[in-house]
Structure 1
Amino acid sequence: MTDIVTTVSSWPGVSVAPHRFGGREFTVGGREFGHDHGTRQVDLPLTKRVRDVLVAEGATDSHHLFPESGWVSYYLDGGSESGALRLLRIAYLHHVASLKRRATKRGESLGPLDAVDVAAELDALDPSDDLRDAFGPVPA
Protein backbone atom coordinates (compact mmCIF):
# COMPACT_ATOMS: atom_id res chain seq x y z
CA MET A 1 0.00 0.00 0.00
CA THR A 2 2.95 2.33 0.43
CA ASP A 3 3.38 2.54 -3.34
CA ILE A 4 -0.32 3.26 -3.82
CA VAL A 5 -0.40 6.03 -1.23
CA THR A 6 2.84 7.56 -2.54
CA THR A 7 1.62 7.49 -6.14
CA VAL A 8 -1.92 8.71 -5.50
CA SER A 9 -0.80 11.49 -3.15
CA SER A 10 1.44 12.86 -5.94
CA TRP A 11 -1.51 13.55 -8.26
CA PRO A 12 -2.58 17.22 -8.55
CA GLY A 13 -5.08 18.29 -5.90
CA VAL A 14 -5.11 14.99 -3.99
CA SER A 15 -5.32 14.84 -0.21
CA VAL A 16 -4.83 11.70 1.86
CA ALA A 17 -6.31 11.40 5.34
CA PRO A 18 -7.52 8.70 7.73
CA HIS A 19 -10.82 7.14 6.64
CA ARG A 20 -13.73 6.83 9.05
CA PHE A 21 -13.75 3.02 8.67
CA GLY A 22 -9.97 2.62 8.91
CA GLY A 23 -7.33 2.87 6.24
CA ARG A 24 -6.79 6.00 4.20
CA GLU A 25 -9.15 8.16 2.18
CA PHE A 26 -8.17 9.83 -1.09
CA THR A 27 -9.94 13.08 -1.99
CA VAL A 28 -9.80 15.62 -4.79
CA GLY A 29 -11.72 18.88 -4.71
CA GLY A 30 -13.11 17.87 -1.32
CA ARG A 31 -14.70 14.70 -2.74
CA GLU A 32 -13.64 11.16 -1.92
CA PHE A 33 -12.60 9.12 -4.94
CA GLY A 34 -11.45 6.07 -3.01
CA HIS A 35 -10.20 4.59 0.23
CA ASP A 36 -8.23 1.58 1.27
CA HIS A 37 -8.85 -1.04 3.91
CA GLY A 38 -5.22 -1.64 4.77
CA THR A 39 -3.52 -4.07 2.42
CA ARG A 40 -6.73 -6.03 1.66
CA GLN A 41 -8.84 -3.87 -0.63
CA VAL A 42 -9.59 -0.52 -2.17
CA ASP A 43 -13.14 0.84 -2.49
CA LEU A 44 -14.04 3.48 -5.08
CA PRO A 45 -17.19 5.53 -5.76
CA LEU A 46 -18.16 5.66 -9.43
CA THR A 47 -21.32 6.17 -11.37
CA LYS A 48 -23.35 3.01 -11.84
CA ARG A 49 -22.68 3.19 -15.56
CA VAL A 50 -18.90 3.22 -15.08
CA ARG A 51 -19.19 0.55 -12.37
CA ASP A 52 -21.20 -1.70 -14.68
CA VAL A 53 -18.55 -1.50 -17.40
CA LEU A 54 -15.61 -2.14 -15.06
CA VAL A 55 -17.36 -5.09 -13.39
CA ALA A 56 -18.39 -6.56 -16.77
CA GLU A 57 -14.78 -6.24 -17.97
CA GLY A 58 -13.55 -8.06 -14.86
CA ALA A 59 -11.47 -5.10 -13.69
CA THR A 60 -13.16 -5.02 -10.26
CA ASP A 61 -16.09 -6.32 -8.23
CA SER A 62 -19.29 -4.66 -7.08
CA HIS A 63 -18.96 -3.18 -3.61
CA HIS A 64 -18.79 -5.82 -0.88
CA LEU A 65 -21.59 -4.22 1.19
CA PHE A 66 -23.53 -2.14 -1.35
CA PRO A 67 -23.47 -4.08 -4.64
CA GLU A 68 -26.28 -2.05 -6.22
CA SER A 69 -24.52 1.28 -5.64
CA GLY A 70 -21.91 2.85 -7.89
CA TRP A 71 -19.20 1.77 -5.45
CA VAL A 72 -16.75 -0.99 -6.34
CA SER A 73 -14.32 -3.07 -4.28
CA TYR A 74 -10.94 -4.12 -5.62
CA TYR A 75 -9.20 -6.90 -3.72
CA LEU A 76 -5.42 -6.64 -3.62
CA ASP A 77 -4.83 -10.40 -3.29
CA GLY A 78 -1.21 -10.35 -2.27
CA GLY A 79 0.01 -7.12 -3.78
CA SER A 80 -1.72 -6.60 -7.14
CA GLU A 81 -1.28 -2.85 -6.81
CA SER A 82 -1.21 -2.02 -10.54
CA GLY A 83 -4.91 -2.89 -10.92
CA ALA A 84 -5.77 -0.80 -7.87
CA LEU A 85 -3.75 2.15 -9.20
CA ARG A 86 -5.49 1.97 -12.57
CA LEU A 87 -8.91 2.01 -10.90
CA LEU A 88 -7.91 4.84 -8.58
CA ARG A 89 -6.71 6.81 -11.61
CA ILE A 90 -10.02 6.18 -13.39
CA ALA A 91 -11.96 7.33 -10.29
CA TYR A 92 -9.68 10.37 -9.92
CA LEU A 93 -10.12 11.39 -13.56
CA HIS A 94 -13.87 10.81 -13.33
CA HIS A 95 -14.08 13.15 -10.33
CA VAL A 96 -11.77 15.75 -11.89
CA ALA A 97 -13.88 15.69 -15.09
CA SER A 98 -16.99 16.34 -13.02
CA LEU A 99 -15.30 19.18 -11.12
CA LYS A 100 -14.02 20.72 -14.38
CA ARG A 101 -17.45 20.60 -16.04
CA ARG A 102 -18.99 22.34 -13.04
CA ALA A 103 -16.20 24.95 -12.83
CA THR A 104 -16.48 25.70 -16.55
CA LYS A 105 -20.20 26.41 -16.21
CA ARG A 106 -19.48 28.79 -13.33
CA GLY A 107 -16.41 30.37 -14.87
CA GLU A 108 -14.30 29.25 -11.90
CA SER A 109 -10.70 28.09 -11.63
CA LEU A 110 -9.74 24.81 -10.01
CA GLY A 111 -6.13 25.78 -9.35
CA PRO A 112 -3.81 22.82 -9.94
CA LEU A 113 -6.66 20.76 -11.40
CA ASP A 114 -6.95 23.18 -14.33
CA ALA A 115 -3.69 21.66 -15.65
CA VAL A 116 -5.04 18.08 -15.62
CA ASP A 117 -5.79 17.06 -19.21
CA VAL A 118 -8.51 14.51 -18.46
CA ALA A 119 -8.90 13.43 -22.10
CA ALA A 120 -5.18 12.74 -22.56
CA GLU A 121 -4.90 11.04 -19.16
CA LEU A 122 -7.87 8.80 -19.95
CA ASP A 123 -6.38 7.95 -23.35
CA ALA A 124 -3.14 6.92 -21.60
CA LEU A 125 -5.12 4.29 -19.67
CA ASP A 126 -6.26 2.73 -22.97
CA PRO A 127 -9.91 2.38 -21.92
CA SER A 128 -12.36 0.19 -23.79
CA ASP A 129 -14.93 1.94 -25.97
CA ASP A 130 -17.58 0.98 -23.40
CA LEU A 131 -15.64 2.63 -20.57
CA ARG A 132 -14.99 5.74 -22.66
CA ASP A 133 -18.73 5.98 -23.43
CA ALA A 134 -19.68 5.45 -19.77
CA PHE A 135 -17.25 8.17 -18.72
CA GLY A 136 -19.34 10.76 -20.53
CA PRO A 137 -18.09 14.10 -21.87
CA VAL A 138 -14.40 14.48 -21.10
CA PRO A 139 -12.99 17.98 -20.71
CA ALA A 140 -9.34 18.61 -21.63
Structure 2
Amino acid sequence: MIDITAEVETWPGVSTAPHRFAGREFTVGGREIGHLHGEWQVDVPLTRRLRDALVEEGVASPHHVHPESGWVTYYLDSEAGTRGAVWLLRLSYLRHVRALQRRDDAPPEVEAVDVGAVVDRLNPSAAVREALGVGTVT
Protein backbone atom coordinates (compact mmCIF):
# COMPACT_ATOMS: atom_id res chain seq x y z
CA MET A 1 0.00 0.00 0.00
CA ILE A 2 1.07 3.58 -0.60
CA ASP A 3 2.50 5.29 2.49
CA ILE A 4 0.32 8.40 2.47
CA THR A 5 2.49 10.33 4.91
CA ALA A 6 5.69 9.57 3.00
CA GLU A 7 4.05 10.64 -0.27
CA VAL A 8 2.57 13.90 1.04
CA GLU A 9 5.86 14.85 2.73
CA THR A 10 7.53 14.94 -0.72
CA TRP A 11 5.36 17.85 -1.87
CA PRO A 12 7.10 21.25 -1.74
CA GLY A 13 6.48 23.16 1.48
CA VAL A 14 4.52 20.41 3.29
CA SER A 15 5.00 19.85 7.01
CA THR A 16 3.57 17.07 9.14
CA ALA A 17 2.76 16.97 12.82
CA PRO A 18 0.55 15.04 15.22
CA HIS A 19 -3.11 16.00 14.82
CA ARG A 20 -5.07 17.26 17.82
CA PHE A 21 -7.63 14.44 17.47
CA ALA A 22 -4.93 11.79 16.98
CA GLY A 23 -3.38 10.84 13.70
CA ARG A 24 -1.15 12.90 11.41
CA GLU A 25 -1.80 16.44 10.12
CA PHE A 26 -0.41 17.86 6.86
CA THR A 27 0.07 21.60 6.34
CA VAL A 28 1.50 23.95 3.74
CA GLY A 29 2.29 27.53 4.69
CA GLY A 30 0.57 26.99 8.05
CA ARG A 31 -2.68 25.89 6.36
CA GLU A 32 -4.04 22.41 6.97
CA ILE A 33 -4.44 20.36 3.80
CA GLY A 34 -5.84 17.36 5.66
CA HIS A 35 -5.21 14.79 8.33
CA LEU A 36 -4.93 11.06 8.55
CA HIS A 37 -6.60 8.97 11.25
CA GLY A 38 -4.58 5.78 11.46
CA GLU A 39 -4.83 3.62 8.38
CA TRP A 40 -8.57 3.92 7.94
CA GLN A 41 -9.62 7.54 7.33
CA VAL A 42 -8.52 10.85 5.84
CA ASP A 43 -10.31 14.18 6.43
CA VAL A 44 -9.68 16.93 3.89
CA PRO A 45 -10.71 20.62 4.02
CA LEU A 46 -12.03 22.04 0.76
CA THR A 47 -14.27 24.85 -0.36
CA ARG A 48 -17.97 24.00 -0.24
CA ARG A 49 -18.13 24.18 -4.02
CA LEU A 50 -15.25 21.74 -4.44
CA ARG A 51 -16.63 19.47 -1.71
CA ASP A 52 -20.04 19.43 -3.39
CA ALA A 53 -18.53 18.49 -6.76
CA LEU A 54 -16.51 15.64 -5.25
CA VAL A 55 -19.42 14.31 -3.19
CA GLU A 56 -21.76 14.51 -6.19
CA GLU A 57 -19.24 12.51 -8.24
CA GLY A 58 -18.98 9.91 -5.47
CA VAL A 59 -15.27 10.57 -4.95
CA ALA A 60 -15.60 11.45 -1.26
CA SER A 61 -18.19 11.57 1.52
CA PRO A 62 -19.31 14.59 3.51
CA HIS A 63 -17.29 14.96 6.71
CA HIS A 64 -18.29 12.31 9.24
CA VAL A 65 -18.85 14.85 12.07
CA HIS A 66 -19.54 18.12 10.20
CA PRO A 67 -21.35 17.06 7.01
CA GLU A 68 -22.45 20.60 6.11
CA SER A 69 -18.91 21.97 6.17
CA GLY A 70 -16.47 22.08 3.26
CA TRP A 71 -14.63 19.08 4.70
CA VAL A 72 -14.79 15.59 3.23
CA THR A 73 -14.04 12.22 4.76
CA TYR A 74 -12.41 9.48 2.73
CA TYR A 75 -12.20 5.92 3.99
CA LEU A 76 -9.12 3.85 3.28
CA ASP A 77 -9.99 0.26 2.50
CA SER A 78 -7.59 -0.75 -0.27
CA GLU A 79 -4.59 0.26 -2.38
CA ALA A 80 -6.99 2.17 -4.62
CA GLY A 81 -8.29 3.87 -1.47
CA THR A 82 -4.86 5.13 -0.51
CA ARG A 83 -4.34 6.47 -4.04
CA GLY A 84 -7.72 8.21 -3.81
CA ALA A 85 -6.76 9.75 -0.47
CA VAL A 86 -3.50 11.08 -1.90
CA TRP A 87 -5.45 12.50 -4.87
CA LEU A 88 -7.84 14.38 -2.54
CA LEU A 89 -5.00 15.65 -0.35
CA ARG A 90 -3.24 16.85 -3.51
CA LEU A 91 -6.32 18.86 -4.54
CA SER A 92 -6.40 20.48 -1.10
CA TYR A 93 -2.66 21.14 -1.29
CA LEU A 94 -2.99 22.81 -4.69
CA ARG A 95 -5.88 24.96 -3.49
CA HIS A 96 -3.74 26.26 -0.64
CA VAL A 97 -0.64 26.65 -2.81
CA ARG A 98 -2.61 28.87 -5.21
CA ALA A 99 -3.70 31.05 -2.28
CA LEU A 100 -0.15 31.26 -0.94
CA GLN A 101 1.22 32.13 -4.39
CA ARG A 102 -0.97 35.24 -4.41
CA ARG A 103 0.88 36.58 -1.36
CA ASP A 104 4.07 38.62 -1.51
CA ASP A 105 5.69 36.42 1.14
CA ALA A 106 5.02 33.01 -0.43
CA PRO A 107 7.74 30.49 0.42
CA PRO A 108 10.02 29.93 -2.62
CA GLU A 109 9.34 26.17 -2.72
CA VAL A 110 5.61 26.90 -2.93
CA GLU A 111 6.07 29.71 -5.44
CA ALA A 112 7.75 27.24 -7.82
CA VAL A 113 4.79 24.82 -7.95
CA ASP A 114 3.06 24.85 -11.36
CA VAL A 115 -0.49 24.34 -10.11
CA GLY A 116 -2.02 24.03 -13.57
CA ALA A 117 0.42 21.34 -14.67
CA VAL A 118 -0.12 19.30 -11.50
CA VAL A 119 -3.90 19.58 -11.86
CA ASP A 120 -3.57 18.38 -15.46
CA ARG A 121 -1.73 15.27 -14.23
CA LEU A 122 -4.49 14.62 -11.67
CA ASN A 123 -7.06 14.69 -14.50
CA PRO A 124 -10.10 15.81 -12.47
CA SER A 125 -13.54 16.31 -13.99
CA ALA A 126 -14.51 19.64 -15.50
CA ALA A 127 -16.71 20.34 -12.45
CA VAL A 128 -13.79 19.74 -10.06
CA ARG A 129 -11.47 21.88 -12.21
CA GLU A 130 -13.99 24.69 -12.21
CA ALA A 131 -14.54 24.46 -8.45
CA LEU A 132 -10.77 24.46 -7.97
CA GLY A 133 -10.55 27.53 -10.20
CA VAL A 134 -8.13 26.16 -12.79
CA GLY A 135 -10.42 25.82 -15.81
CA THR A 136 -10.40 23.06 -18.36
CA VAL A 137 -7.59 21.64 -20.44
CA THR A 138 -7.61 22.89 -24.03
- Please give the TM-score of this superposition, normalised by the length of structure 2: 0.91
Per the TM alignment, residue 2 of structure 1 is displaced from its structure 2 partner at its CA by: 6.5
| Contact residue 101 and residue 111 of structure 2 kept, 8 A | yes
Per the TM alignment, residue 109 of structure 1 is displaced from its structure 2 partner at its CA by: 3.9
Q: CA RMSD in A?
A: 1.5
Per the TM alignment, residue 100 of structure 1 is displaced from its structure 2 partner at its CA by: 1.2
Q: Percent identity?
A: 57
Q: Deviations over 1:64-85 (max 9, x none)?
A: 0000000000000244211001
Per the TM alignment, residue 108 of structure 1 is displaced from its structure 2 partner at its CA by: 3.2
| Unpaired segments ≥5 residues, structure 1 | none
Per the TM alignment, residue 27 of structure 1 is displaced from its structure 2 partner at its CA by: 0.2
| Contact residue 100 and residue 106 of structure 2 kept, 8 A | no
Aligned residue runs from structure 1 range 3-82, under 5 A = 3-79=3-79, 80-82=81-83
- Alignment-derived partner of residue 117 in structure 2: 120
Q: How many Å separate the matches in 1 of 2:92 and 2:106?
A: 21
Amino acid at match of 2:16: V
Per the TM alignment, residue 48 of structure 1 is displaced from its structure 2 partner at its CA by: 0.1
Q: How many Å separate the matches in 2 of 1:17 and 1:62?
A: 24
Count of residue pairs the alignment pairs up: 134
Per the TM alignment, residue 111 of structure 1 is displaced from its structure 2 partner at its CA by: 1.5
Amino acid at match of 1:100: Q
User: The residue matched to 1:95 in structure 2 has which SS?
Assistant: helix
Q: How many Å separate the matches in 2 of 1:17 and 1:110?
A: 19
Per the TM alignment, residue 114 of structure 1 is displaced from its structure 2 partner at its CA by: 1.0
Q: How many Å separate the matches in 2 of 1:54 and 1:90?
A: 11
Amino acid at match of 1:49: R
Q: How many Å separate the matches in 2 of 1:137 and 1:98?
A: 12
